[in-house]
A and B are shown apart, each in its own frame.
Chain A
Amino acid sequence: MKYKSQQVAYWFFALSMVLFILQITYGFVMAFAHLGYDGLHELIPFNAATATHKNLLVVWILSGFMGAAYFIIPDEAERELISIPLVKLQFWSLAIVGVVAVIGFHIGWWEGRKFLEIPRPLDYLVVVNVLLFLYVLLMTLYKGKKRTTTALVLSMGLFFAALLYLPGMVWFDNQTMDSFFRWWVVHLWVEGVWELIMGGILAYLLIKLTGVDREVIEKWLYVIVGLTFLSGVLGTGHHYYYIGTPKYWLMIGGIFSALEPLAFLGMALFAVAMYRKGEKRHPNKMALTWTLGTAIISFVGAGLLGVAHTLPSVNMWTHGTFVTAMHGHLAFWGAYGMLVLGMITYAMPLITGRKMYTKPGASYAFWLSNIGMIGMTTAFAAAGVAQVYLERKVGMDFIDVQQEMEVHFLILIAAASLFTLGIILYIINFFKYGKPTDEALEPA
């Protein structure tokens, strides 16, 4: 690590870890409720648990992205971050907004819009927070010695992610319009601008870990993010099939969203190709494992499991069932969860100066969490297929179908326990690294 200010990434990563474990806890609350054990109903009704689970997910990922950006941008731009106090202010305001939002969900201070439950007054604080973040980042880039493609793609992703938060803050009386713009945030994030962030971080990690020439990596980065927008922007149409919007979206959404896996396939091929081409002399093998892992699992979870229900003729039956939850879990985990964990694995030895590369726990963390998540995906898939058949095709009553599905939730909880064990190992390792030290600084 060359620049002392890169150390601030540590705090964002630590916050990310804490929120992650809390997110998982609420996942269990919901899984048990589905099994019929809803003893917490008075305290944490299902809608409070789900709002917390989904928002903590988004915030721990975003906190991870912010840490990644504070680590990467100085390195790429070749200068210190412009101001550490501003970063500290941004960090604490982020943590406070997060805590207030979560408490709010438990006392009914929210908006009933999936993924966008944070109430509008808090949204304004989120905006201020993100503006502060972007200011520090973009000014650092502007004043830096270099503007690399990797840094530009990463910053563009973060900038547009901030911009796209705004359509989610407008109030509409018409439910269809409300939903229309909710997708501008949710879809255009995960299947649009977040892929730029992913591409940027992936390119950075591959440059560092494989030793392949930057020009080659960055050329393919442009191709991949090009494919992302080519397919993903009009691909938004796959959410406009059945919400009161015109029929032309069936065709447009169907065709373009079916192309979306290309970008994820691109990332997977790109990572594997660079891995094979590179010298692989970097001692941080676990970071490389997570990096390849995220490239491959994102293709499976987002690409394959996404395309599985994206055609209108299929989505007609699966829309709003556990088939969606199956895809949501593996996609978020593969594309963004593993990416953040990979970035942290790469950065921690550099930030703290402790080169703990070959901890056995680190490898177990990777395999347990992935096997667990694939098990969870399978359980959701079995539940989803049963639900679609019994409820949508046969026309059985909702709650009768839910009772048929309980066995799948038992499996879900077993797999989720494996997953959680992996994550606990990961987090223990994280905190074992300790705080940032100056030992790690390379002499200039």
Chain B
Amino acid sequence: MLTKNQARTFFLGGTVLFFFIFLGLSWHTLSQEVPKQTHEENMTESVIRGKELFDKNNCMGCHTIMGEGAYYAPELTKVIDRKGEEYCKIVLMSKEPWQPRGRKMVAYAMTEKEAEDVVAFLKWVGEIDLNGFPPEPDLKGKVPTE
């Protein structure tokens, strides 16, 4: 039967081994792959300011982005593709809570420049290679929705 010492060796050995594999892979991901997959060369000053605004206003507290966040408001990864830049700017600059379909968004009343920064950020996010996420709706048009 397994002794306590063997059990401890299993714990310590396994932990150290997998920890180092994880560190190695993380290093490779961050230094070699992420800059390419996210097109870091396109991260302009405006994109970075946009991210700061996105963070400061806790947009993730209602929306998801790359599938992360809260589930109260639409996924924003491809929102520029879906709605267009102008629409997004109007939403961000609105002084009244935006509520086209009843559910309210916080009225951020951003300046035009701020709204442009957030849009630049969202556009950059939309171009990241997300290994196929979000998936194309494969039943679209195949089942009646009315």
Query: Does A pair with B?
Result: yes
Set of chain B residues within 8 Å of A230, measured between Cβ atoms: 14-15, 18
Q: Would you call B62 an interface residue if the criterion is a C-beta within 8 Å of the partner chain's C-beta atoms?
A: yes
Query: A223 vs B12: C-alpha distance in the bound complex, in angstroms?
Result: 10
Query: A320 vs B76: C-alpha distance in the bound complex, in angstroms?
Result: 11
User: Shortest Cβ distance from B55 into chain A, in angstroms?
Assistant: 4
Query: A182 vs B21: C-alpha distance in the bound complex, in angstroms?
Result: 19
Set of chain B residues within 8 Å of A223, measured between Cβ atoms: 2, 7, 10-11
Q: Would you call A395 an interface residue if the criterion is a C-beta within 8 Å of the partner chain's C-beta atoms?
A: yes
In the complex, per-residue mask of A239-251: 1 if CB is within 8 Å of any chain B CB, else 0: 0111111111110
Set of chain A residues within 8 Å of B125, measured between Cβ atoms: 175
Query: A43 vs B4: C-alpha distance in the bound complex, in angstroms?
Result: 56
User: Shortest Cβ distance from B57 into chain A, in angstroms?
Assistant: 7
Query: A252 vs B54: C-alpha distance in the bound complex, in angstroms?
Result: 31
Set of chain B residues within 8 Å of A248, measured between Cβ atoms: 25
In the complex, per-residue mask of B50-74: 1 if CB is within 8 Å of any chain A CB, else 0: 0100111111111011111111111
Query: A247 vs B129: C-alpha distance in the bound complex, in angstroms?
Result: 10
Given A46-B62, A396-B145, A245 and B33 contact (CB-CB distance below 8 Å): yes
Candidates B11, B65, B101; contact of A175 at CB < 8 Å: B65
Max count, chain A CB within 10 A of own CB: residue among B51, B67, B73, B75: B67
Please state if A320 and B61 are interface contacts (CB–CB under 8 Å): no
Candidates B51, B56, B70, B71; contact of A173 at CB < 8 Å: B51
Set of chain A residues within 8 Å of B48, measured between Cβ atoms: 173
Q: Would you call B22 an interface residue if the criterion is a C-beta within 8 Å of the partner chain's C-beta atoms?
A: yes
Please state if B25 and A252 are interface contacts (CB–CB under 8 Å): yes
User: Shortest Cβ distance from A199 into chain B, in angstroms?
Assistant: 10
Query: A316 vs B137: C-alpha distance in the bound complex, in angstroms?
Result: 11
Please state if B11 and A245 are interface contacts (CB–CB under 8 Å): no
Max count, chain B CB within 10 A of own CB: residue among A30, A173, A245, A317: A245
Please state if A399 and B103 are interface contacts (CB–CB under 8 Å): yes
Set of chain B residues within 8 Å of A23, measured between Cβ atoms: none
Set of chain A residues within 8 Å of B62, measured between Cβ atoms: 45-47, 50
Candidates B19, B71, B131, B132; contact of A322 at CB < 8 Å: B71
Please state if B54 and A112 are interface contacts (CB–CB under 8 Å): yes
Set of chain B residues within 8 Å of A179, measured between Cβ atoms: 66, 68
Please state if A222 and B10 are interface contacts (CB–CB under 8 Å): yes
User: Shortest Cβ distance from A49 into chain B, in angstroms?
Assistant: 8
Set of chain A residues within 8 Å of B140, measured between Cβ atoms: 394-395
Query: A226 vs B7: C-alpha distance in the bound complex, in angstroms?
Result: 8
Q: Would you call A114 an interface residue if the criterion is a C-beta within 8 Å of the partner chain's C-beta atoms?
A: yes
Candidates A111, A316, A391, A398; contact of B133 at CB < 8 Å: A316
Please state if A112 and B60 are interface contacts (CB–CB under 8 Å): yes
Q: Which of A33-41, A64-72, A368-376 contacts B (4 or more CB under 8 A)?
A: A33-41
Candidates A110, A246, A394; contact of B137 at CB < 8 Å: A394
Set of chain A residues within 8 Å of B28, measured between Cβ atoms: 246
- A393 and chain B: residue at smallest CB distance: B139
Set of chain B residues within 8 Å of A317, measured between Cβ atoms: 135
Query: A319 vs B133: C-alpha distance in the bound complex, in angstroms?
Result: 9
Query: A117 vs B61: C-alpha distance in the bound complex, in angstroms?
Result: 9
Given A110-B58, A240-B29, A396-B145, A47 and B106 contact (CB-CB distance below 8 Å): yes
Query: A66 vs B80: C-alpha distance in the bound complex, in angstroms?
Result: 46
User: A47-B59, A149-B8, A242-B130 known; 9 other A-B pairs, CB under 8 Å?
Assistant: A48-B58, A114-B61, A114-B69, A175-B66, A230-B18, A245-B33, A246-B37, A320-B68, A393-B139
Chain A contact residues, CB within 8 Å of chain B: 30, 33-34, 36, 38, 41, 45-48, 50-51, 108, 110-114, 117, 149, 173-177, 179-180, 182, 215, 218-220, 222-223, 225-226, 229-230, 233-234, 236, 240-250, 252, 316-317, 319-322, 324-325, 387, 391-396, 398-399, 402
